[in-house]
Amino acid sequence: MVKELTGSGIRINEEPPKVQIEKKISGGLEVFSNFKQSIDKEVVKDIAREFGIKSGTITLQEKLSMDRLFDAFSVNRVYVPAIFVINKVDEDPDYKEKIGRRICGY
C-alpha cells in the first residue's frame, strides 16, 4: 500500500527534503551544501534545469539521495503523517508479519 502511494507522489511518515531553492532572473545556478554529498553539484544543476530553473541558488541542508533530490524539485509531492492500526483478528504473528509487509512494503 505504501509503495503505491509513494509511486503516486504521496510520502507517508516522511519529512520534506531540506532544500532551499531561490530562483533568480539571471546569474546562472549556484549549489551550496552544508553536508558532503554523494551527488555531484553539476548533477544537481542538471536536474534543476530539467525542472525549469535556469538561474538561482540551491542550498542542500541534508545529505540527499537522488529520490529525495527529485522530491525537492517536484511541486506535486505530499507529505502525510499516518498511523497503521491492526485489530484483534490480526493477532496471529504470521498474519501480522504478512500484513506489515503488505502495508509498509518491507
Residue 16's pLDDT band, with cuts at 50, 70 and 90, is very high
Can you give the pLDDT at residue 39? 92
Mapped onto helix, strand or coil, the DSSP state of residue 33 is strand
pTM > 0.85: yes or no: no
Burial class (CB in 10 A: 0-12, 13-18, 19+), 57: middle
Q: Does the pLDDT value for residue 86 go beyond 90?
A: no
Q: How many CA atoms lie within 13 A of 30 on its CB side?
A: 9
Q: Whose grid coordinates read 544543476?
A: 45
Can you give the pLDDT at residue 2? 79
